[in-house]
């Protein structure tokens, strides 16, 4: 069973259009879709925005629905200047930029008995890179930082860039990274850029959410095709 999650309805809908939904289950104030894509068994959901919602949904996908890997698709704000609206990025690792226990001498993002960075699955990242190469799609790889804040300031963006060496920002990946690391499940994160995370980002986000969500969703479907092909070969 492969778990596919997004944060928002707009991000999940273009994926749902491409799979065969077999069952819809309402659970814990959310809807989970049991579906097939070719011979792959899928469970899909959008969590709602933010780290707590994302952690809850990731945990339910794994613990209740038996997801053996989690693939995340959606949009992000750009940090790296070479990332433009609609560009795709996969995470090498994720972190939580809003975790601050620095008063106790810990580095930003660190929680005792946990860690700052949660690595994404190398095998799934290699599948993504193969797909990008085959289709001639530009795909960046980098650190993606998460926090319960929509970033729309150059100052905050630069602090996140400097502190975590992050290439993009969103509001869920660090939480899903933590859950999947805790439960020992491979995690893959794909995002398409919706805004620059600077002043005016809110306007761009509203304008490009749908378009960038589709770009991410279409790439994720191509990855499922590649996973099917690899299973058969
Ligand atoms: N997701 C998309 N754009 C974002 C931004 N600027 N800040 C946080 N999450 C985002």
The confidence score (pLDDT) of residue 14 equals 98
Active site residue 11: yes
- Which domains are assigned to the chain? 2-232 (3.40.50.1580)
Q: What is the spatial distance between Cα 189 and Cα 177, in angstroms, rounded to a whole number? A: 9
How many C-beta atoms surround the C-beta of residue 147 within 10 A?
22
The confidence score (pLDDT) of residue 231 equals 79
Give tens-digit pLDDT for 197-206: 999 999 999 9
Q: What is the mean pLDDT of the chain?
A: 97
Mean pLDDT of the region 136-163: 98
The confidence score (pLDDT) of residue 230 equals 86
Mean pLDDT of the region 15-37: 98
Helix or strand (DSSP H, E) at 85: none
Active site residue 195: yes
Mean pLDDT of the region 148-169: 98
Of 83, 90, 66, 26, the closest CA to residue 208 belongs to 83
End-to-end, the C-alpha distance of the chain in Å comes to 19
Q: What is the spatial distance between Cα 73 and Cα 76, in angstroms, rounded to a whole number? A: 10
* Any atom of ligand 1 within 6 Å of the Cβ of 198: no
Q: How much of the chain, in percent, has pLDDT values that exceed 70? A: 99
By most ligand atoms within 8 Å of CB, the mutation choice from 87, 88, 150 for ligand 1 is: 150
Give tens-digit pLDDT for 54-87: 999 999 999 999 999 999 999 999 999 999 999 9
How many C-beta atoms surround the C-beta of residue 102 within 10 A?
11
* Any atom of ligand 1 within 6 Å of the Cβ of 201: yes
Please state the pTM of the whole predicted model: 0.96
Checking if the pLDDT of 95 tops 80, the result is: yes
Q: 71 with 172: CB under 8 angstroms?
A: no
* Any atom of ligand 1 within 6 Å of the Cβ of 169: yes
Q: Give the active site residue among 10, 170, 195, 198.
A: 195
Interstrand relation of 20-27 and 139-146 (parallel, antiparallel or unpaired): unpaired
The confidence score (pLDDT) of residue 233 equals 62
């Amino acid at each position: 069973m492969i778990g596919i999650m997004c944060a928002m309805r707009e991000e999940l809908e273009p994926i749902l259009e491409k799979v065969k939904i077999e069952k819809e289950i309402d659970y814990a104030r959310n809807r989970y879709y049991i579906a097939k894509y070719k011979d792959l068994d899928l469970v899909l959901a959008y969590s709602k925005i933010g780290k707590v919602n994302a952690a809850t949904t990731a945990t339910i996908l794994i613990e209740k629905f038996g997801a053996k890997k989690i693939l995340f698709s959606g949009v992000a704000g750009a940090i790296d200047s070479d990332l433009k609206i609609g560009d795709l990025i996969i995470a090498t690792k994720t972190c939580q930029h809003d975790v601050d226990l620095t008063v106790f001498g810990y580095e930003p993002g660190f929680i005792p008995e946990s860690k700052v960075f949660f690595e994404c699955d190398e095998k799934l990242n290699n599948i993504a890179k193969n797909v990008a190469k085959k289709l001639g799609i530009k795909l960046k790889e980098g650190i993606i930082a998460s926090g319960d804040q929509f970033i729309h300031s150059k100052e905050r963006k630069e602090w996140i860039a400097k502190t975590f060496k992050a290439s993009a920002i969103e509001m869920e990946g660090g939480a899903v990274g933590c859950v999947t690391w805790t439960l020992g499940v491979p995690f893959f994160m794909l995002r398409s850029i919706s805004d620059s995370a600077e002043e005016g980002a809110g306007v761009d986000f509203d304008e490009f959410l749908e378009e960038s969500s589709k770009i991410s969703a279409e790439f994720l479907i191509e990855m499922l095709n590649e996973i099917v092909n690899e299973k058969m070969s």
